[in-house]
Structure 1
Amino acid sequence: MVTIKPMERRNPQDVNAVNKYYAKAISQGVIDFERLAYLVSNQCTVRESDCYAVLRALEHNIIDELKQGKVVQLGGLGNLQVGVRSNGEELAENVSAASVKKAHMNFRPGAKLRDMLEIMKYKITTG
């Protein structure tokens, strides 16, 4: 279950408008590679250290493949791909690496994650 709390926000398009409250998802903590390796190792016959090694190798290879411009498919989780923001140029031939202002990560969730979002349950917190 995801915890939400009300957050007051102003309308950036109309600074004179009355502020409104919006739901904000609140983190319930962080899970790191070590904990993931422990959890996976308890669900199969692989040792925790082996799971950790596989997760680290996965991390290394994802980064390497993204650097090569590939889309990384993570099964039911979804796809990762590098995207860029750039300056607009008058002519196509003026577009170059120097036009790029910033790179970012695009994540497109797979069917399992999209389905999870559809059936998500929430609880409210006041703190």
Structure 2
Amino acid sequence: MVKVKTIERPNPQDRTAEKKFYVQAVSKGTTDLERLAYLVSHQSTVREADCYAVLLSLLHNIMDELKQGRIVKLDKLGSFQIGVRSEGVDTQQEVSSFLVKKSHVNFRPDTRMREMLDTMKFSLEA
């Protein structure tokens, strides 16, 4: 179960408006590649070091494919794709790659993960 907590935030569009209360997910920690390798190795006949090496290789290859502008689809997990934030200009002639201010990775979960999100249970942290 995912714990949530109450936070108070101002309206970013109107800083003079009254603040409102929202719910925010609370993290229980982090799971890294080493931990994932450990978990996978204990659920299969593959050794932990081999799992870790495969996961590192997967990460390296995902990053290489994203750098080349490809969408990386991992069946049953989802798809990764590069997205950008840019400045707006008045005419099409002014558009250039220099308008890109920041890049990020978009993740779109696959059906199985979306279903997990749809059935997620939450509890309010005291």
* TM-score (ref. length: structure 2): 0.91
| Amino acid paired to 1:26 | V
> SS of the counterpart of 1:31?
coil
2:33 corresponds to 1:33: yes
* TM-score (ref. length: structure 1): 0.90
| Alignment deviations for residues 45-69 of structure 1 (CA, whole Å, 9 cap, x no partner) | 1110000000000000000000000
2:20 and 2:103 map into 1 onto residues whose CA distance is: 32
Match for residue 50 of structure 1?
50
| Alignment deviations for residues 61-113 of structure 1 (CA, whole Å, 9 cap, x no partner) | 00000000000001111110001122223443432221212111111111111
| Amino acid paired to 2:37 | A
Number of paired residues? 126
Q: Structure 1 pair 22/90, CA: closer, same or farther in 2 (3 Å)?
A: closer
Percentage of matched positions with identical amino acids? 56
2:115 and 2:40 map into 1 onto residues whose CA distance is: 22
Question: Structure 1 stretches of 5 or more lacking a match?
Answer: none
Match for residue 79 of structure 2?
79
2:87 and 2:14 map into 1 onto residues whose CA distance is: 27
| Amino acid paired to 2:67 | K
Q: Structure 1 pair 18/98, CA: closer, same or farther in 2 (3 Å)?
A: closer
- 106-115 or 85-94: bigger deviation: 85-94
| Amino acid paired to 1:11 | N
Q: Structure 1 pair 33/91, CA: closer, same or farther in 2 (3 Å)?
A: same
CA RMSD, Structure 1 to Structure 2 (Å): 1.5
2:19 corresponds to 1:2: no
> SS of the counterpart of 1:76?
coil
